[in-house]
Amino acid sequence: MEILLFGISKEIIGEQILQVPQEARITSVKSLKQWILASYPEMGNLSSFAIAVDQEYATDERLLADNQEIALLPPVSGG
């Protein structure tokens, strides 16, 4: 599973695309968030982050499949 990274999440993780190993057994947005926080504890310092699936914000209950476009969206600051 590939996760597209944007903003500060790219800096924290150090890549533009995060490769999630199959053995992580990610099945939902909630399990993906849990895996990200366990694998990259610095992500927990963000006020929040969202997951988009196929270019739409996804709830924690959303199920994931390998063929979907998945992106990690950090908090947005405005001005």
List domains and CATH numbers for the chain: 2-73 (3.10.20.30)
Res 54 pLDDT > 60: yes
**Residue 22 contacts by C-beta under 8 Å, 6 or more apart in sequence?**
1
Residue 46 is classified by DSSP as S
Q: The pTM is what?
A: 0.89
Determine the Cα–Cα distance for residues 76 and 21; give it in Å rounded to an integer. 28
> Which candidate, 42, 44, 46, 39, places its Cα nearest to that of 3?
39
Min mean pLDDT across 30-34, 36-40, 74-78 is at 74-78
User: Quick check: 13 and 78 in contact, CB under 8 A?
Assistant: no
Determine the Cα–Cα distance for residues 44 and 40; give it in Å rounded to an integer. 8
Mean pLDDT to the nearest integer, 43-72: 93
Mean pLDDT to the nearest integer, 41-58: 93
Res 78 pLDDT > 80: no
The percentage of residues in the chain with a pLDDT greater than 90, rounded to a whole number, is 81
